[in-house]
Amino acid sequence: MINGTDGGQFAPFVSKDSELYVFATDLCRSMRFNYERDTEVHGLKTMRFTPPATLFASADEDENNRCFCTTSTCPKSGVVYVSTCQKGAPIVLSSPHFYLGDNEYVNGVAGLSPVKEQHETFLDIHPLTGLVLRASKRLQINIDLKNYDKLHKVTVIPDHSHDVSNHLSDGSVE
């Protein structure tokens, strides 16, 4: 089901109890955002909303994610297969450094260190207007490789995470 906005604006009078939905075309799904904490952007009071930890949870951990299993084997927590909406390309999306992902993914690549402040997606929303004053969508694009006995544990991996950020400039606030 397509549910939510494009993430740029929500209905006015957003509260801490609000559940906000954004349809993310790159994820081929709607994302729910919940209130996390109060923030401030250029002196304006805002509220930070983040996706729940279950966004990329395995179907074993969150039954609501079962419909996103596109193969007979569902992935562990932390990734989502998007090949069905990417013309069959073996694309797997996750948070950067597999933030909130299964330890098998995090420990499977040397040098990863998931950090909430650097790798979490968030929206800072002005509660009265529903406008998003600052946002950061952080995704890592992965390729689903099959086992190959000559390929050892990856020790060097270029940073191919994708961070789309938006914020008000000083002049926009006035």
Q: Over the stretch 32-84, which tens digit does the pLDDT of each residue have?
A: 999 999 999 999 999 999 999 988 888 888 888 887 776 667 788 999 888 88
On whether the CB atoms of residues 51 and 45 are closer than 8 A, the answer is no
On whether the CB atoms of residues 55 and 73 are closer than 8 A, the answer is no
Amino acid letter, 108: G
d(CA 162, CA 159) in angstroms, rounded, equals 9
Q: What is the pTM of this model?
A: 0.83
What confidence tens digit (pLDDT) does each residue in 109-159 have?
888 899 999 999 999 999 999 999 999 999 998 888 776 666 655 544 445
Q: Three-state DSSP class for 17?
A: coil
Q: Three-state DSSP class for 127?
A: coil
pLDDT at 143: 84
d(CA 165, CA 137) in angstroms, rounded, equals 6
